[in-house]
Amino acid sequence: MAGTAGGYVYQTIDDSRSGESGQPNQSAQVDLMTHPDWCEAEFCSDTEHRSTPIIIDPVTLGLYAEDATSEKIMVEIRCRASIVPPRVAYAVGRALVQLGKYANKNGNGDGRDG
Ligand SMILES: [Zn+2]
């Protein structure tokens, strides 16, 4: 919880993998970012922090925060269907509770359970 990005390896700034243009000094820009503990470099972008996604096909869940307000942890839900089997609904529900609890306790939620 030192608030630094020490030890954090950002893997997508090699120009071979960069798909974005118009960013004159990418490495310096990225090095200035402080990533939350839950952020995963593979899924983090220049402006948005993301955790490793929980994939319960066709639903994908994860933690999300904008870099400018990284203390405000949100839960991202992406879904490719509106009808899912019971097991998916059950698993998604459990995962949502876990993500919601984490975001609530570590972000700027009300800090209460449930
Ligand atoms: Zn990040």
Q: In the chain, what are the domain boundaries? A: 30-106
Q: Which residues contact 35 (CB under 8 A, 6 or more apart)?
A: 5, 8, 41, 44, 49, 70
Q: Which residues contact 32 (CB under 8 A, 6 or more apart)?
A: none
Confidence band for 31, pLDDT divided at 50, 70 and 90: low
Share in percent of the chain as helix, strand, coil (round to 5):
25, 20, 55
Q: What is the 23 CA–ligand 1 centroid distance (Å)?
A: 18
pTM above 0.85, yes or no: no
Q: What is the 45 CA–ligand 1 centroid distance (Å)?
A: 7
The Cα–Cα gap between 65 and 48 comes to 6
pLDDT at 89 over 90: yes
Q: What is the 50 CA–ligand 1 centroid distance (Å)?
A: 6
Higher pLDDT, 68 or 33: 68
Tokens matching residue 14: 């090699």
